Amino acid sequence: MSIANCGDTIQLAPGTYGAASSIRNDCPMTAPVIIQGAANFGSTITANMDVAGTRTVVTGINFSGSEARVRLGGTNNKVIGNRFTNWRSIAVTAAEGKQGEIAYNEFSRPHAWVANDSSNYPLRIGIRTAEKDPSNFHFDAWVHHNYFHDFPAKPDPQSYHSGQSDAIEVCQSGRESTALMRTGWYIESNLVERHLQGHGIIDLKCGGNVVRYNTVSDSPGGRLDARAGSYNVLESNWLENSGGSSIHGGYNKVVGNRVRGGQLTVMAGDLDWNNAGGGYSRALHTLVAGNDSTSLVIGKAYNSASQYPALDTTVEGHVGGKPVLEREQNTTISASTNVRFSTAFRLSPASVGPSALTGATNEYLTCRVAR
């Protein structure tokens, strides 16, 4: 694609586009470049699109095929109201930059697992960051109103390392320099349905994220996890027929969530709370307030190597099953709470994805970040 002038809309004709594209603009907030697919997703892109620079909006496009994906870097660029199917690896990669927005997209049915995959640990992930250290991370992203559904189980469900198909993963595993940073990501009002992988399907491996108002349903074993990092907030999420949520790291807040068909767990670990060296960090100073969960476990351990107990957990105003104390120290429990939070509610497909954007104002096509 050629570079347009600021304020232009590049209207794609119906058809299939198989060439990789690179988009780099430097536009003011009031005049983004919009890459607009044909009506009714009549424009299909089967190759990689690389978005950098500032203030480009990619919208209304059908990304489909094993090489169909978007790499979103730069500043205040947006991927809004698109469909992603049949991809390998990662559908949308958040690369070096800041204030990207990934919203009202539909991610479903990635490419089937194949014997000759290019990786020993193949991926079919919806949204994932790409970083080696904080200098090339994508900060302050806004991920909202996306619809993730019909993701596969692992190629070998008995082997965790046979492959990974998370809906969203923020930060990569086992990197000390990134696990302890604060990212500024907001992940809110997304719906995950029929995700068969299990384990952490919305997976935080660093700190400073806010994850709120999301729904995970009909995804047996699929969890919303704070896997590493600190100062994460998990608020008013609706988890139904899922694996619940596991909390590692320090100073996290878990408030107002509704969990059915899975456990809410504050974890013991084989590493201390501020160590992300490839193991499981324990939870420290976790606030668990106003949650409605039939199963709450403080100090759950993955294995016998979890010698670090969950430490200084505060449980307030819990509704549901009586908290179970396992490998923990200094847990305090009170029947009421003064913590404020919104009531969790169940999202429906009608409230997320491209169809929910139809008829809306161009608010989401204006390059700004508003939360």
Give me the DSSP letters along 115-160: TT-SSSS-BEEEEEE--SSGGG-EES-EEES-EEEEEPPPSSTT-G
Domain boundaries, the chain: 1-119+354-371, 147-352
Nearest to 86 by CA among 46, 38, 39: 46
Give counts: helices (H), strands (E), the chain. 2, 42
Burial status of residue 4 (CB atoms within 10 A of its CB: 0-12, 13-18, 19 or more): middle
Specify the fold of 147-352: Pectate Lyase C-like (2.160.20)
DSSP element (H, E) containing 195: strand 191-195
Indicate the average pLDDT of the chain: 92
pLDDT at 115: 82
Q: Are 171 and 206 in contact (CB under 8 A)?
A: yes
> What is the distance between the alpha carbons of residues 279 and 298, in angstroms, rounded to a whole number?
19
Nearest to 67 by CA among 42, 41, 93, 98: 93
- Residue 25, helix vs strand vs coil: strand
pTM of this prediction? Answer: 0.95
pLDDT at 370: 45
Q: Which residues contact 189 (CB under 8 A, 6 or more apart)?
A: 144, 145, 212, 213, 214, 347, 351, 352
Measured in degrees and rounded to the nearest 5, phi and psi for residue 233 equal -125, 120
pLDDT at 277: 66
pLDDT at 119: 77
Q: DSSP code of 103?
A: E
- In this prediction, the residues of the chain whose per-residue pLDDT falls under 70 are 1-3, 174, 277, 359-371
pLDDT at 173: 74
- Residue 74, helix vs strand vs coil: strand
pLDDT at 160: 85
Residue with tokens 């203030």: 55
> What is the distance between the alpha carbons of residues 205 and 215, in angstroms, rounded to a whole number?
20
pLDDT at 217: 97
pLDDT at 4: 79
> What is the distance between the alpha carbons of residues 263 and 261, in angstroms, rounded to a whole number?
7
Nearest to 340 by CA among 236, 251, 249: 236
Nearest to 215 by CA among 309, 346, 117: 346
